[in-house]
Chains A and B, each alone.
Chain A
Amino acid sequence: MKFATAIIIGAGQSGLAMSRHLTARSIDHVVFERGEVANSWLTERWDSLRLLTPNWQTRLPNHAYAGDDPHGFMTMAEVAGFLQRYARLSQAPIMSGTRVIRATQQDQGYEVLTTRGVWRCRKLVIASGACNIASIPSHSAGLPAKITSLTPLQYRNPGLLPDGGAMIVGASASGIQLARELQAAGRRVLLSVGDHVRMPRTYRGRDILWWMDAIGAMNMRYDAIDDIQRARHLPSLQLVGTPDHVTVDLNSLRKASVELVGRLVGLRDGKAQFSGSLANFCALADLKMNRLLASIDDWVTASGLDQHVPAPERFEPTMLEPETKLSLDLVSAGIGTVIWATGFRPDYSWLDVPVLDRKGRIRHDGGIVAAPGMYVMGLPFMRQRKSSFIDGAGDDAADLAAHLSQNLANAA
């Protein structure tokens, strides 16, 4: 049996940032990576995907984008290259090709069984990602057998889909991007829309994430939020990263002939049933977007910058057809594929420690898990709004490494 003071599971942005901070504190550790550095980015993303955050915002402790396109968006290969360079620069002690099979609590720490042996540690950092498993609604079981069912983790490009149209369930970042791509490839596309967060790509001459960063929204702390449980389960922002900085929203998709329907609420006898709540979800998203734009406008005025940026604008409210479908016979409508863009969740199947709540979510306070010496990283709004962004890994790693180190010192 081997020993390290700390074990980090996962060599993505979170695990690498944590490794960097532990190294800086001279805490011996090892990083287990089931594949290679940036494994999920390389193997679980569709071909055309680019980061939703601009290059300048792709930054980690002592490492930032240095190219000539700071406002562009990295492809997945570029993200992986960025993280691989970081791993090399940091000389992170990574054991690649090492999958964790089980972690159990032992006296003073944890025992971690991997495909490459058993390890013991005092501190365990779970940095294995927030999006390991696609969440699929239970009524997917009613999907007719001849229709192909995919998750965004499996989807690669339009050419690999079976013939026919596609129904995309969910209108967050993944859903709107896949709807746009498949419609552009000449497919009939039906987009089932529930709760969503509408967001323009650019506003008043800047990227929306530049504004959110500037007004302090990205740095908002989890303990300063009125209802953190709600904030942690908000859908992802309706954004796409493209070289031409396009905004993709329900209006642009509708104009491109994507058919919008309500939330998928049932599948029976080959028929998909859609909720009649579409108009309200669109109204909620429009109002919420306008509140964000108003807070940006307020910040611009308070900062005395009104003369330096373009004037405020408001976008067209989400327009819907007078009557949207409430049901559709999928096979006779020629739908060949359903893609479940209904969110993701972490995989804790290897974690044999009672720290999950009744919904299978890990219980933690700002990343400090409800078990001694255990930490988690990269979850939505974990310590700050940006915790699940690459740009959030540095701050969280600094805080948690400080806690971990203090904790070791206290025990000594």
Chain B
Amino acid sequence: MTTTNNATVVSADNGVNVSALLDAREALAKAPEAAQFKWRASCEWLNGTHSRSEIGNFFGLGAEQSRNKTFAVEADHPQIFAAEDHAPTPVELVLSGLASCLTAGVAAVAQRRGIQLHSVKATLEADMDVLGILGMDDEVRNGFGAIRVHFDIRADASADDIKALVAQSQKRSAVFDVVTNPTNVFVTVN
């Protein structure tokens, strides 16, 4: 039962180009096939549990999209897992992905709603019973039992409006969807 007052959108600047995003929405409404994206990563084993992923090109808007650079993300495990702790564990990278996705969403929704942000900090914690990954208890899943996200946000808005930013960000978050809903995973070899 609310309407967005477009006039207020101009005054807030969170560094998000909302009008470009709205233009994209309009363009994709006319050409929905261009909305089909493919995201990619490759990963090479280094040593022990240490690996390095490379992230570069992706497909979208009907064409291969090349970047000027390739990003590298390393992962390892901590010493208490008898590893060398060169980098975060993959599950910590998942938390980071969720946090980044929700935080980006908060900024975008705030911009759209004309809310000036001053600071946004997400703190995440996930429960895991490692009896699962160690193969010691069939009834324990490998993944997280639960994820808790806490947002600390300072913004020119009421407490409820800030809560609504965080709620809307979850509603439109890709990583939130990936972690809360099942996905078919197809793995092939050689």
Q: Decide whether A and B assemble into one complex.
A: yes
Residues of A within 8 A of B (CB): 195, 212, 217, 224-227, 262, 265-266, 273, 275-277, 280-281, 283-284, 287-288, 290-292, 295, 323, 358
Docked-complex contact B1 and A276, CB < 8 angstroms: no
How far apart are the CA atoms of A195 and B6 in the complex, in Å? Answer: 25
Give how many B residues have a beta carbon under 8 Å from the other chain's beta carbons.
20
Contacts of B2 on A, CB cut-off 8 Å? 288, 291, 295
Q: State whether A217 and B171 are in contact (beta carbons under 8 Å apart), knowing that A275-B180, A276-B180, A290-B160 are contacts in the complex.
A: no
How far apart are the CA atoms of A283 and B160 in the complex, in Å? Answer: 10
Besides A226-B3, A273-B181, A276-B180, 12 more A-B contacts (Cβ < 8 Å) are: A226-B4, A266-B182, A277-B177, A277-B181, A280-B170, A280-B171, A283-B163, A284-B167, A284-B168, A288-B2, A292-B1, A295-B1
- The 27 sampled A-B contact pairs (Cβ below 8 Å) are A195-B171, A212-B1, A217-B1, A225-B3, A226-B3, A226-B4, A226-B6, A265-B181, A265-B182, A266-B181, A273-B182, A275-B180, A275-B181, A276-B179, A276-B180, A277-B177, A277-B180, A283-B167, A284-B168, A287-B160, A287-B164, A288-B2, A290-B160, A291-B1, A292-B1, A295-B1, A358-B32
Is B146 located at the chain interface by the 8 A CB criterion? Answer: yes
Query: Which one, B163, B177, B180, contacts A287 given CB within 8 A?
Result: B163
Contact with A along B138-177 (1 / 0, CB 8 A): 0000000010000000000000100110011011000011
Least distance between A306 CB and chain B CB atoms (Å): 20
Contact with A along B32-61 (1 / 0, CB 8 A): 100000000000000000000000000000
Residue of B nearest to A284 (CB): B167
How far apart are the CA atoms of A171 and B2 in the complex, in Å? Answer: 22
Residue of B nearest to A278 (CB): B180
Residue of A nearest to B158 (CB): A294
4 pairs of A and B residues whose beta carbons are closest in the complex: A276-B180, A292-B1, A280-B170, A226-B4
Least distance between B56 CB and chain A CB atoms (Å): 31
Residue of A nearest to B33 (CB): A358
Contacts of A290 on B, CB cut-off 8 Å? 160
Residue of A nearest to B165 (CB): A287
Chain B contacts with A in 1-51, Cβ cutoff 8 A? 1-4, 6, 32
Contacts of B6 on A, CB cut-off 8 Å? 226
Residue of B nearest to A262 (CB): B180
How far apart are the CA atoms of A280 and B177 in the complex, in Å? Answer: 12
How far apart are the CA atoms of A227 and B113 in the complex, in Å? Answer: 13
Residue of B nearest to A327 (CB): B182
Contacts of A275 on B, CB cut-off 8 Å? 180-181
Contacts of B179 on A, CB cut-off 8 Å? 276
Query: Which one, B4, B32, B170, contacts A277 given CB within 8 A?
Result: B170
How far apart are the CA atoms of A226 and B6 in the complex, in Å? Answer: 9
Contacts of A280 on B, CB cut-off 8 Å? 167, 170-171, 176
How far apart are the CA atoms of A266 and B6 in the complex, in Å? Answer: 39
Least distance between B101 CB and chain A CB atoms (Å): 13
Least distance between A211 CB and chain B CB atoms (Å): 10
Contacts of B182 on A, CB cut-off 8 Å? 265-266, 273
How far apart are the CA atoms of A273 and B182 in the complex, in Å? Answer: 8
Contacts of B181 on A, CB cut-off 8 Å? 265-266, 273, 275-277
**Most chain A C-beta atoms within 10 Å of own C-beta, residue among B1, B179, B180:** B1
Contacts of A225 on B, CB cut-off 8 Å? 3
Contacts of B163 on A, CB cut-off 8 Å? 283, 287
Docked-complex contact A288 and B1, CB < 8 angstroms: yes
Contacts of A295 on B, CB cut-off 8 Å? 1-2
